[in-house]
């Protein structure tokens, strides 16, 4: 005896309403997308170069998540670089400041990472260290001095770590500028 199986669903009207909801969601997205030329009903929201979110992805997008992960990776490398400068320093002061020449740092760091100059530039941008000139080149700038702009305990505190380095100096309160927040881990979306 053949078995007939019937599937019960709401019918075509349910599928149509789901499709129409998806179309409306896409139209709303297109009306708010800065790169869309869609001129649907009503006014569309376009960013100007003076808008707060101009040039920034939607905070809940995958692009924003990738940017947060990249920022975390960069800050981890900067933190490691500051510790290397302090540990391998040619000059240390009693209050936790340290300095090293670029040639020595390059010879130590080449086994760790091939991005030393880029990391140095980023660390200087964030105010962790200082060196003369715009760029550092191997051999030509081996004598240039790279110095920590804060003592090592202040740098540790800025990264949210305990300032427990012996001879690392007192923690200096440093106000951070907006946008200079140091990510401590991936944010949950």
pLDDT in tens, 45-57: 666 788 787 888 8
How many domains does the structure of the chain reveal? 2
Both 147 and 121 in one domain: the answer is yes
pLDDT along the chain (189 residues), means of 10: 62 82 85 66 64 81 92 92 91 90 89 82 93 89 92 87 79 57 51
Both 70 and 41 in one domain: the answer is no
**What percentage of the chain's residues is helix, strand, coil (to nearest 5)?**
40, 5, 55
pLDDT value of residue 125: 93
Q: Is residue 60 part of a domain?
A: no
Q: Is residue 163 part of a domain?
A: no
pTM recorded for the entire structure: 0.67
CATH number of the domain where residue 96 is located? 1.10.10.1540
Both 35 and 71 in one domain: the answer is no
**DSSP for 63-128?**
HHHHHHHHHHHHHHHHHHHHHHHHHT-SEE-TTS-EEEEHHHHHHHHTTT-S-HHHHHHHHHHTTS
Both 26 and 74 in one domain: the answer is no
pLDDT value of residue 187: 46
pLDDT value of residue 44: 55
Q: Is residue 169 part of a domain?
A: no
Q: Is residue 165 part of a domain?
A: no
Both 21 and 72 in one domain: the answer is no
Q: Which residue segment(s) compose the domain that 74 sits in? A: 66-158
Both 72 and 152 in one domain: the answer is yes
Q: Is residue 140 part of a domain?
A: yes
Both 100 and 44 in one domain: the answer is no
Q: Edge to edge, what strands does the sheet with 91-92 contain? A: 91-92, 98-101, 145-148, 129-130
pLDDT value of residue 121: 93
Both 41 and 76 in one domain: the answer is no
Both 39 and 109 in one domain: the answer is no
Both 84 and 149 in one domain: the answer is yes
Both 25 and 77 in one domain: the answer is no
pLDDT value of residue 81: 92
Q: Is residue 3 part of a domain?
A: no
Q: Are strands 145-148 and 91-92 parallel, antiparallel or unpaired?
A: unpaired
pLDDT in tens, 56-74: 887 888 999 999 999 999 9
Q: Is residue 181 part of a domain?
A: no
């Amino acid at each position: 005896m053949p078995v007939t199986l019937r599937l019960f669903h709401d019918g075509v009207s349910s599928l149509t309403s789901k499709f129409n909801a998806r179309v409306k969601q896409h139209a709303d997205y297109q009306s708010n997308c800065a790169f869309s030329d869609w001129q649907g009903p009503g006014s569309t929201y376009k960013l100007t170069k003076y808008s707060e979110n101009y040039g920034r992805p939607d905070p809940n997008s995958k692009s924003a998540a990738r940017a947060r992960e990249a920022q975390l990776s960069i800050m981890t490398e900067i933190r490691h670089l500051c510790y290397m400068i302090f540990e391998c320093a040619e000059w240390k002061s009693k209050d936790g400041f340290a300095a090293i020449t670029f040639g020595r740092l390059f010879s130590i760091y080449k086994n760790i990472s091939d991005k030393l100059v880029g990391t140095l530039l980023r660390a200087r941008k964030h105010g962790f260290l200082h060196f003369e000139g715009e760029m550092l080149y191997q051999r030509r700038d081996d004598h240039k001095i790279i110095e920590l702009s804060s003592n090592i305990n202040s740098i540790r505190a800025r990264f949210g770590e305990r300032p427990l380095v012996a001879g690392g100096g007192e923690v200096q309160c440093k106000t951070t500028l907006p946008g200079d927040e140091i990510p401590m881990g991936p944010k949950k979306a």
